[in-house]
Amino acid sequence: MGGVQSIQVSAEEADQRLDRWFRRRFPALTHGRLEKLLRTGQVRVDGARARASTRLTAGQTVRVPPLPTAPPDDAAPRPKPAAAIRTGDLDDLRAAILHQDEWLIALNKPAGLATQGGSGLTRHLDAMLDGLKRHPDDERPRLVHRLDKDTSGVLLLARTARAAKALAEAFRRRETRKVYWALVVGLPKPRAGTIRAALRKEGGPKGERVVWDDATGKPAITDYQVVDDAAGTVSWLAMEPRTGRTHQLRAHAMVLGTPILGDGKYGGQGAFIGGAEVARRMHLHARHLAMPHPAGGTLVVEAPLPPHMTEAFRYFGFRQQDAPALEDRR
């Protein structure tokens, strides 16, 4: 059983119910145990009592009391213990640092590494964050936002609670600018534009996903531009989300009728092309991030492509230097 934790709500966790937030972060915690902790005031949000139905907002702090590492014997089967963090993982993580200072760390997250744990998932970034502390007594770095497991690119961590609050507020106010590079199957028409398609979460045999639903979904907006295409078979897109919905770019690529290359969850077999030269992995990369720095000024970070996308660019004849210059849309 661990000690008391104070966990900052990330921008991508905003609008979640408190009980759902706990289920995702602490899968060993039973519903009955959580209800008791809430009734007795041991769980608090920004210092105040909360209910299971409380909706969280970015930047809030959730007080988490000491929790059992596994459910009691009469509850659900105990999950397997987390695997020890491998030295090689930490070495790779430190090598992926793009920028760091006393406030924050910017990483080039590799594709295939989950940001946070979940049911049956023991290897994830959140479990490695202690390895990024400069000194043993430093605060543990905090996740400010998330990337899908198979999406690579710029990911921000806050070194302190103060920095986490400032960065989460910038995300909440949409003062950030994020540009993703994606390879998609087919050629979008028109070649540039803005996708306005509301998205709604739903469950299914392939796990949680989002669907286009303008009637009941949450507003989702993405600007896109075709940078280049390989005779219409595969296109290179620059995609800039104005909102931050779960799987937004993956779902909006489907709205265009051009699934992201390798994204079988959304595109099925249509997300793959023949030939062994192209990896059967998702080709979506968080290339560029610009946002206010907590100490003042603007933080600008760019992440190099992962190896499988570098190879795909070479195969299709795409040149990174052909990417359009970034212009301020505001």
**pLDDT score for 79:** 38
- Chain region(s) in the chain for CATH 3.10.290.10: 5-64
Alpha-carbon gap, residue 8 to 132, rounded angstroms: 18
- Chain region(s) in the chain for CATH 3.30.2350.10: 87-172, 177-322
Domain made up of 177-322: CATH architecture: 2-Layer Sandwich (3.30)
Q: Strand 152-158 relative to strand 284-292: parallel, antiparallel, unpaired?
A: parallel
Element (H, E) at 290: strand 284-292
Predicted confidence (pLDDT) at residue 193 exceeds the cutoff of 90: yes
Mean pLDDT lowest among 62-66, 110-114, 179-183, 325-329: 325-329
**pLDDT score for 2:** 59
**pLDDT score for 135:** 82
Predicted confidence (pLDDT) at residue 120 exceeds the cutoff of 70: no
Please, what is the average pLDDT of the chain?
Answer: 87
User: Under 8 Å CB-to-CB from 191, ≥6 apart: which residues?
Assistant: 225, 226
Active site (catalytic) residues: 148
**pLDDT score for 274:** 79
The pLDDT tens digits of the residues spanning 215-238 come to 999 999 999 999 999 999 999 999
Classified by CATH at the fold level, domain 5-64 comes out as 3.10.290
The pLDDT tens digits of the residues spanning 283-311 come to 999 999 999 999 999 999 999 999 999 99
Q: Contact, 224 vs 250, CB < 8 A?
A: no
Q: How much of the chain exceeds pLDDT 70, in percent? A: 88
Sign of dihedral through CA atoms 71, 73, 75, 77? positive
Predicted confidence (pLDDT) at residue 89 exceeds the cutoff of 90: no
Predicted confidence (pLDDT) at residue 83 exceeds the cutoff of 60: no
Residue-by-residue DSSP string for 156-195:
EEESSHHHHHHHHHHHHTT--EEEEEEEEES--SSSEEEE
Mean pLDDT lowest among 127-141, 178-192, 254-268: 127-141
**pLDDT score for 71:** 44
Element (H, E) at 241: strand 234-241
**pLDDT score for 86:** 63
Q: What is the pTM of this model?
A: 0.74
Predicted confidence (pLDDT) at residue 270 exceeds the cutoff of 90: yes
Alpha-carbon gap, residue 70 to 28, rounded angstroms: 5
Predicted confidence (pLDDT) at residue 77 exceeds the cutoff of 60: no
Q: Phi and psi dihedrals of 273, rounded to 5?
A: -125, 160
Burial of 264 (0-12, 13-18, 19+ CB in 10 A): middle
pLDDT band at 116 (very low <50, low <70, confident <90, very high): confident
Predicted confidence (pLDDT) at residue 76 exceeds the cutoff of 70: no
Alpha-carbon gap, residue 142 to 94, rounded angstroms: 15
Q: Say how many C-beta atoms besides its own lie within 10 A of residue 258's C-beta.
A: 25
Highest mean pLDDT among 78-82, 265-269, 271-275, 283-287: 283-287
Cis omega before residue 292 (within 30°)? no
Interval 91-107 mean pLDDT? 92
Predicted confidence (pLDDT) at residue 73 exceeds the cutoff of 80: no
| Amino acid found at 262 | G
What is the homologous superfamily of the domain 87-172 according to CATH? Pseudouridine synthase (3.30.2350.10)
